[in-house]
Structure 1
Amino acid sequence: MRIALFGATGSTGKFLIQEALRQGHSLSVYARDAQKLQAFHGQIDVVVGNLEDKDAITACLRGSDAVISALGPNGFKVQGDRPVMHGLTHIIAAMKQANIRRLIQISTAAYRDPKDGFAFNVRAFALLFQIIARKGFEDIRATAELIAKSDLEWTLVRIPNLQDGPAAGAIDTGWYGKARLGMKLSRGNLAKFLVEQVSDTQFIRAAPGIADH
């Protein structure tokens, strides 16, 4: 399949690109700075633009079967009002025009799924994040709510603390307060799970939490 990938110049990006290529997919990668993707020259197609550039977003989506978004707030310094949510608004509109249905988006416990139970450690972590990075927290939650209200075949992949490292070992998946979910996840395991969702239908219109086993 051909995947349109957004957010690939962040810390998880190289793992996502490597995993998608390993699984045999072709990639159209959206970036503000193509130089950050030089390591993959000749292996991927790069489209340069920002999240307000509707024409560039449309170009990135052309011919794709699915979209993976690793877009998220840039640390504690969020510029503007909910920039990721507004970017996804443009991406979703372009997806509908191109008749692309599958969207996989990274999220966190800032978004609460109706299937969740109560998990003290998860709620405490989310509350702490809300206190110290309010604008980022609100952007993540608003982005998830926007996607969940769409009629796309979406999956929100809710993650704990990320650590650099390859895909290794098993992961746990499920709903907070109901499944055993730890507080750490390797970027390699995240990338593997995200790419697998392109063809996996188990979590369509759902927001599973995932963590290293």
Structure 2
Amino acid sequence: MRVTVFGATGGIGRLVVRQLLDDGHHVTALSRSPGKLNLTHDNLTLITGELSDRSAVQQAVTGADAVISALGPSLKRSTTGTQLTDGTRTIVAVMDEQKVTRFIGLATPSLADPKDKPHWKHKVLPVMAKIAFPNALAELTGMTRAVTGSDLDYTIARITNPTDKPATGRIRSGFLGHDQVGSAMTRADIAAFLVSQLTDTRYQRAMPAISN
């Protein structure tokens, strides 16, 4: 499968790229600084560019069977702007133009899925995020709405507390108030879940919460 990855040089994105290559997929990654990926592979194509560069996004998406976005906002309080929201809108528009329908991405349980039941995370996490990371929450909200408001066949994994511990291979997924899903999860297991969604049809046009 040909998969385009955005956010490939981040903590989760690097692991997504490696997992895809290990599984035999062809990967195209768009990044401002692709050298940070520090990886060469016969099935890896690196494109230098910004999310704001529509032509670069078009180049990355053309010919893809699916898109995985490991993009996530900065948690610095000094960060401002809507670069990721705007960039995600560009990705969605280009995917629509190119007839690429499968999108797999990340969000937060601060944002509810219609399949959720009332849960404490819906009340507590948004308040905490607005206080500690207001711009990050705004960006995650904007990015998510750009995707869920489209016609894409999306799966958006909601994560709470990513860690750098070794992969466990234990992945819980589901909807708040229905399923036993915790908070902490290794980045390696998050990457594995994202890649698994290329062939898993359980969460089409849904936002499952995931954890170890």
What is the TM-score normalised by the length of structure 2? 0.94
- Paired residue for 2:135? 135
Once superposed, what is the RMSD of the aligned Cα atoms? Answer: 1.6
* Residue of structure 1 in register with 2:54 after alignment: 54
Q: Is the 8 A contact 1:111 1:145 kept in 2?
A: no
Deviation of 1:193 (Å): 0.7
| Partner Cα separation in structure 2 for residue 65 and residue 4 of structure 1 | 8
Is 2:32 the counterpart of 1:32?
A: yes
Aligned residue for 1:187? 187
Note the alpha carbon deviations across 1:87-128, whole angstroms, 9 max, x for none.
011111111111100001111112111111222256323321
For residues 205 and 70 of structure 1, what CA distance do their matches in structure 2 show? 17
Which deviations, in whole Å up to 9, do the C-alpha atoms of 1:162-212 show, x marking residues without a partner?
011343232111111221111100111111110111122111100000000
Residue 8 of structure 1 pairs with residue 8 of structure 2: yes
Structure 1 stretches of 4+ with a deviation exceeding 3 A read 40-43, 77-80
Q: How does 1:63-74 map to 2 (within 5 A)?
A: 63-74=63-74
Flag structure 1 segments of 5+ consecutive residues without an equivalent.
Answer: none
- Asked if the contact 2:92/2:146 (under 8 Å) is kept, the reply is no
What is the CA distance between 1:79 and its match in structure 2?
4.2
Identity of aligned residues (%): 32
Q: Residue in 2 aligned with 1:82?
A: 82
Once residues 197 and 78 of structure 2 are traced to their aligned partners in structure 1, the CA distance between those partners, rounded to angstroms, is 28
Give the aligned partner of residue 208 of structure 2: 208
Note if contact 1:33-1:48 (Cα within 8 Å) is conserved in structure 2: yes
Q: Report the equivalent of 1:196.
A: 196
Q: CA deviation at 1:81?
A: 2.8
Which range moves more in the overlay, 80-89 or 61-70? 80-89
2:145 corresponds to which residue? 145
User: How many equivalent residue pairs?
Assistant: 212
Q: Find the aligned partners of 1:14 and 1:152 in 2 and give their Cα distance.
A: 24
Alpha-carbon offset, residue 77 of structure 1 = 4.5
Assess if the C-alpha contact under 8 Å between 2:25 and 2:43 holds in 1.
Answer: no
- Partner AA of 1:142 in structure 2: G
Shift of 1:78: 6.4
Seen in structure 2, the aligned counterparts of structure 1 residues 123 and 23 have a Cα distance that, compared at 3 Å, is farther
CA drift of 1:138 comes to 1.2
Distance 1:87 1:79 in 2: 16
Cα contact 2:77–2:132 (8 A) shared by 1: no
Give the Cα–Cα distance (whole angstroms) in 1 for the partners of residues 139 and 41 of structure 2.
Answer: 32
Query: Which ranges in structure 2 are unaligned for 5 or more consecutive residues?
Result: none
Read off the aligned partner of 1:203 and give its amino acid letter.
Y
Q: Which amino acid counterpart does residue 27 of structure 2 have in structure 1?
A: L
Tell me if structure 2 keeps the 8 A contact 1:110–1:140.
no
1:48-98 superposed Cα distances (whole Å, 9 cap, x missing partner): 111110001011112110000011111224644322111011111111111
